[in-house]
Amino acid sequence: MGRKRKKMPLLEQVGVTDIGAEGKSIARIDERVIFLTNAIPGDVVDIQVNRKKKNFMEGYPVKFYKYSEDRVEPFCEHFGVCGGCKWQQLPYEKQLFYKQKQVADQLQRIGGLKEEELKMMQPILASPKDRYYRNKLEFTFSNKRWVTKEELESGEEIHERKGLGFHIPKMFDKILDIQNCYLQPEPSNEIRAWFREHTKGAEYFDIREHKGLMRNLTIRTANTGEVMVMVAFYENNESYIQSLLSSFVKDFPQVNSVMYVINSKANDTILDQDILLFSGKDYIVEKMEDLEFQIGPKSFYQTNSEQALSLYKTARDFAGLKGDEVVYDLYTGTGTIANFIAGSAAKVIGIESVPEAIEDAKENSARNHISNTVFLAGDMKDAFDPELMQEHGKPDVVILDPPRAGVHQNVVDNLIHAAPQKIVYVSCNPATQARDIKLLAGHYSITGIQAVDMFPQTHHVENVVLLEREKDRE
């Protein structure tokens, strides 16, 4: 027989005091930390513990005795079930406060920054929009949508199980049917509603059985007003696909790019798939200052266009380029930062592991008549090495914008060896950023910190740090 699970404790009338990493709220009992979801600082709650470790516990509120004075009514009907926009109960000013605090805490606790050094932190840059700020959303068709609590309690028999929406957190096979989403501007909601209505006769994808026709819907909107729609089908039912997309183009003539893909793989990724053009052009255009960026169906682009400009301006200001520098842009993606700063540098070398992204970066340089960029595809831990620097020149400035995992130890070692005057570190994960900064301690000192809110209503935050080589090490 298996071991009997211990009954988890119920903690009564506990005051929620703070918000920590990953957006979880914090309460304390006898100096022991409890991380909990669905509560905010100022709430007094009973907590059902569902995980118990030596130094901490995790749980969720089962009863509220007092609601925080800061609490606001969530604006979305899907709040609490949908995995997105988890901070709707917090007013936007408080969201900014806790994001700034999160960055400071990580830099101090993991990065070893002293209280004095944290004083150089600038106030976080707020997003001009706290709703309808995303330029890309991906929806999933499912024949087993999530049945809501209200539906179950109604006692009525549920016949329709088709859904088009987002994955329920931690449930790969359950999709919440989204009626209205506040993340992307119109015509996003109208397009999703159209596809739900016009695919009633088609079989939606079953992720467990791997069958069904309708699989995914991706909508991209640009700050130029251009729109791209891409539909992923699991089966190649050519007559149905042609009929469906012809109807869509007729009803949405304003959509600039209509594309589709037949993805019969087990996973949803399309980077290795052929994307077919049905109508219009195979890209849309984003503008940033006087530059234009061509966004294709596989392109990576910051999802909050307005705040991307704030982020890149911060990186450019921190770099403080005079025009004669050699700049390396590591993890360049589609070359957005590289092209953005190229006019202020002598030469920019962008490195990225995804070959398609490098092709986009080259195209974006050509589109904007930029001739002083070089883009190379390769795994960063191997590509950024002394041999490369010998060929293209030693860097005066290095810009880092790595994925959430941060930079590899090889990259840190090669940065120390290359000894650029400045390193501008752009991060979507302040914890790994702080870890990497600590590895550079003794060689580089922090001289600038600027958090940028790219993702309102969530705990996610971008942070830019300026590191300058310590003079006595030159």
Residues noted as catalytic: 428
- Which of 191, 198, 261 lies closest to 232, judged by CA? 261
Token readout for 148 is 């809501």
Residue 250's CB: how many other CB atoms inside 10 A? 8
> Are the C-beta atoms of 216 and 198 separated by less than 8 Å?
no
Q: Quick one: angle between helices 238-251 and 188-198, nearest 10?
A: 140
CB proximity list for 28: less than 8 A, separation 6 or greater: 17, 34
CB proximity list for 52: less than 8 A, separation 6 or greater: 6, 8, 9, 58
> Are the C-beta atoms of 392 and 349 separated by less than 8 Å?
yes
Distance CA 307, CA 124 (A): 12
Q: Which residues of 106-137 are buried (b: 16+ CB within 10 A; e: fewer)?
A: bbeebbebeeebbeebeebbbbeebbebbbbb
DSSP 315-350: HHHHHT--S--EEEEET-TTTHHHHHHGGGSSEEEE
Question: Alpha carbon of 52 to those of 64, 191, 343: distances in Å?
Answer: 22, 45, 54
